[in-house]
């Protein structure tokens, strides 16, 4: 046997270990996500989704309504029932248990790796497994995939690619492609479409496989694959029917949905789109930045003629030119290039604006095309080098990169354990995103803690975070609302008034801000303004527990006792068991020379809230005012004993 045959035999014998590696690698990389909780939009597709919580009984509702219907009524035009159906079944088996969702997520990712390796072997038409194996290893270990695998909600991304790979396996396994296989392939392709709308982009890729790689004429390809376009049309019709019959779709995107909206002119929009594509291409090689959010103003406005846009445009044009110019000579490389640009087309913001500026998960499928081209290019260049150990074992060339990818993936996975950990991490990676600062600040603001020191530290950090957000986005009212609330809790009432006033100016329809501002004016001893805004809340029928209490107290402090009495009476009419209102109404009766009545209300207040020992002193003073010194001394003694 020749030396060449010995090498070939060794290569083929080693291939039997490939499936085990591809199964174990995702388990190793993502084992630390198994016991993670629900993060970000996970709640919308699991424990806060009414259809998913119904288990198997909720499947029909999932199939007949838009994607978010089980969570809220915001119709964003999405229809992705397959992942929700899986979540419903998993919920049926183990309710409110993130472990089962994370475990299945990893298993599906492993299965995707196995199918991907098989797919790559078929398109490269080689008995040597090394090139497809390297591409698959890089794909599975790439840190850009952490959002998809670690975040339960992103199951739709995995399923979409998984069923496309199953479809290609069915099609490419039979040279003659029997009608039965076409039907089966059409069904699995439908499952890809039901996973995510982006699956429609796999349709041109399937034809590309036939025409570009298998060198089959277009007419012949149509005769083989005609059922897939038919299924796509049926799916599209059902998709539109469900979306349009489930309620009105949400309106035009704002700059908070997609920061490109804040940039003027079509040419600038296209330029920013290309700058985003450039960022994606860089991240395919090295994920220099990972974040759950890239909203305003992480991706700034740039001119089409700026280097940030023009350079990626030149690279895109050059790669497409290469793909078509050398189609016959390097078909696999050209296929990888086209795969990348086709699958990223919908989310690139080049052709039209979508509901997000940029996202790590958008690179999940396109990354495959880029890796096909990149690894092919490296292997081709290595072939021209002088033979050495790397030529004999080309996989060694990629070991350092694989180790770096793996380390970064495991490290990034840890951030996805909880909202708090993720938010704390990403304020350091997306420093120009107002939403990143706002989300973390809001989480800390709403965090319950019995530790006063921790509360104060959280408030200090909240103010810093909201102030950072304000510097980036000075017209988003919620930032000023939460900043005002944080300042209020810090007892910095003048600043609370200033921030809440700014919020109300930006959004005059927010009754919650109106009430918060009324409270802030009260605490800042600006009683006229407090009275005005509390009365405005009452006129709008936005009445909170302390509305009449603060309104009456403001009148009382202004010595307008008649108005104070009416406010306290109105409050007691709504809540007769409010001890604070009872106590203050007793005070009003006391200053109105009605000690007997005031005693009655004081005693009611104390019976409801015996921890408020000050009421005992009020009762003592009321008895003293009516000339009953015995009871006055008795209650004064009780007051002094319990102070």
Q: Is residue 427 pLDDT above 50, yes or no?
A: yes
pLDDT of residue 173: 81
pLDDT of residue 3: 44
Name the range with the highest mean pLDDT among 223-232, 465-474, 631-640.
465-474
Confidence of residue 419 (pLDDT cuts 50, 70, 90): very high
Q: Is residue 28 pLDDT above 80, yes or no?
A: yes
The chain-wide mean pLDDT, for the chain, equals 91
Radius of gyration of the chain (CA): 33
Range 246-276 burial, b when 16+ CB lie within 10 A, else e: beeeeeebebbbbbbbebeeeebbbbbbbbb
**Residue corresponding to tokens 């199918």:** 115
The stretch 53-57 carries a mean pLDDT of 96
pLDDT of residue 423: 97
pLDDT of residue 429: 93
Confidence of residue 5 (pLDDT cuts 50, 70, 90): very low
Domains of the chain, earliest start first? 48-95 (no CATH), 251-384 (no CATH), 433-544 (1.25.40.10), 560-643 (1.25.40.10)
The stretch 548-557 carries a mean pLDDT of 94
DSSP state of 144: G
pLDDT of residue 10: 43
Half-sphere exposure of 160 (CA within 13 A, CB side): 25
Confidence of residue 270 (pLDDT cuts 50, 70, 90): very high
Q: Is residue 273 pLDDT above 80, yes or no?
A: yes
Asked if residues 275 and 302 have their Cβ atoms less than 8 Å apart, the reply is yes
Query: How does pLDDT run across 509-544, given as a tens digit for each residue?
Result: 899 999 999 999 999 999 999 999 999 999 999 999
The stretch 104-120 carries a mean pLDDT of 96
Confidence of residue 6 (pLDDT cuts 50, 70, 90): very low
pLDDT of residue 172: 85
Q: Is residue 7 pLDDT above 50, yes or no?
A: no
Between 176 and 623, residue with greater pLDDT:
623
Question: What angle separates helix 366-383 from helix 130-141, to the nearest 10 degrees?
Answer: 140
Query: How does pLDDT run across 287-342, given as a tens digit for each residue?
Result: 999 999 999 999 999 999 999 999 999 999 999 999 999 988 999 999 999 999 99
pLDDT of residue 204: 93
DSSP state of 509: T
pLDDT of residue 387: 56
- Residues 294 and 432: their CA atoms lie apart, in Å, by 8
pLDDT of residue 386: 56
Query: How does pLDDT run across 454-484, given as a tens digit for each residue?
Result: 889 999 999 999 999 999 999 999 999 999 9
Query: How does pLDDT run across 298-312, given as a tens digit for each residue?
Result: 999 999 999 999 999
The stretch 97-121 carries a mean pLDDT of 96
pLDDT of residue 288: 92
- Residues 437 and 639: their CA atoms lie apart, in Å, by 48
Q: Is residue 576 pLDDT above 60, yes or no?
A: yes
C-alpha triplet 85, 89, 95: angle, nearest 5°: 125
**Full DSSP string of 44-107:** HHTTT-HHHHTGGGGHHHHHHS-TTTTT-S-B-S---HHHHHHHHHHHHHSTT-HHHHHHHHHH
**Residue corresponding to tokens 């600040």:** 441
pLDDT of residue 127: 59
pLDDT of residue 9: 45
Between 15 and 321, residue with greater pLDDT:
321
- Residues 370 and 341: their CA atoms lie apart, in Å, by 9
Between 466 and 449, residue with greater pLDDT:
466
């Amino acid at each position: 046997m020749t030396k060449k045959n010995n090498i070939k035999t060794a290569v083929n014998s080693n291939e039997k270990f490939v499936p085990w590696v591809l199964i174990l690698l995702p388990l190793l990389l993502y084992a630390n996500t198994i016991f993670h909780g629900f993060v970000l939009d996970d709640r919308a597709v699991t424990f806060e989704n009414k259809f998913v919580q119904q288990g198997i009984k909720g499947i029909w509702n999932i199939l007949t309504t838009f994607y978010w219907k089980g969570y809220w009524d915001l119709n964003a035009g999405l229809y992705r029932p397959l992942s929700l159906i899986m979540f419903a079944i998993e919920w049926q088996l183990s309710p409110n248990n993130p472990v089962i969702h994370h475990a299945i997520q990893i298993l599906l990712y492993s299965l995707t790796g196995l199918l991907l390796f098989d797919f790559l072997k078929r398109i490269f038409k080689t008995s040597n497994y090394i090139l497809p194996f390297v591409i698959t290893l890089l794909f599975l270990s790439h840190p850009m995939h952490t959002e998809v695998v670690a975040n339960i909600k992103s199951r739709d991304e995995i399923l979409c690619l998984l069923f496309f790979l199953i479809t290609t396996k069915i099609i490419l396994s039979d040279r003659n492609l029997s009608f039965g296989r076409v039907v089966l392939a059409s069904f699995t392709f439908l499952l890809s479409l039901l996973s995510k709308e982006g699956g429609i982009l796999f349709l041109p890729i399937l034809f590309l496989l036939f025409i570009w790689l298998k060198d089959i004429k277009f007419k012949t390809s149509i005769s083989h694959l005609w059922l897939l376009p038919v299924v796509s049309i049926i799916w599209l019709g059902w998709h539109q029917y469900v979306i349009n019959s489930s309620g009105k779709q949400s309106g035009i995107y704002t700059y908070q949905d997609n920061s490109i909206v804040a940039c003027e002119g079509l040419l600038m929009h296209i330029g920013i789109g290309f700058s985003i594509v450039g960022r994606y291409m860089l991240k395919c090689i090295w994920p220099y930045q990972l974040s759950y959010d890239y909203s305003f103003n992480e991706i700034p406005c740039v001119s089409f003629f700026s280097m940030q846009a023009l350079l990626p445009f030149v690279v895109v044009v050059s790669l497409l030119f290469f793909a078509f110019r050398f189609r016959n000579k390097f078909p696999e490389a050209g296929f990888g290039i086209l795969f990348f640009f086709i699958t990223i087309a919908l989310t690139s913001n080049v052709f039209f604006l979508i509901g997000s500026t940029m996202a790590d998960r958008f690179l999940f499928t396109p990354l495959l095309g880029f890796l096909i081209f990149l690894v092919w290019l490296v292997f081709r260049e290595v072939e021209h080098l002088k033979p050495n150990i790397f030529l004999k074992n080309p996989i060694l060339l990629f070991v350092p990169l694989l180790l770096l990818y793996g380390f970064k993936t495991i490290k990034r996975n840890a951030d996805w354990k909880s909202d708090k950990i993720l938010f704390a991490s990403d304020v350091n990676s997306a420093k120009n995103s107002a939403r990143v600062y706002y989300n973390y600040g809001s989480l800390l603001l709403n965090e319950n803690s019995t530790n006063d020191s921790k509360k104060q530290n959280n408030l200090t950090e909240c103010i810093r975070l909201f102030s950072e957000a304000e510097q980036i986005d000075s017209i988003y009212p919620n930032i000023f609302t939460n900043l005002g609330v944080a300042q209020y809790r810090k007892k910095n009432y003048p600043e609370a008034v200033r921030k809440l006033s700014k919020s109300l100016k930006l959004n005059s329809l927010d009754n919650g801000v109106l009430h918060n501002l009324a409270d802030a004016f009260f605490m800042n001893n600006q009683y006229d303004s407090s009275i005005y805004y509390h009365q405005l809340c009452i006129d709008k029928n936005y009445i909170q527990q302390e509305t009449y209490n603060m309104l009456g107290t403001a009148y009382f402090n202004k010595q307008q006792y008649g108005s104070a009495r009416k406010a306290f009476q109105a409050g007691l009419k709504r809540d007769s068991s409010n001890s604070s209102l009872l106590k203050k109404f007793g005070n009003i009766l006391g200053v109105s020379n009605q000690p007997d009545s005031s005693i009655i209300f004081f005693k009611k207040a104390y019976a409801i809230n015996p921890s408020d020992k000050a009421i005992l002193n009020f009762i003592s003073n009321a008895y003293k005012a009516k000339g009953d010194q015995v009871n006055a001394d008795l209650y004064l003694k009780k007051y002094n004993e319990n102070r």
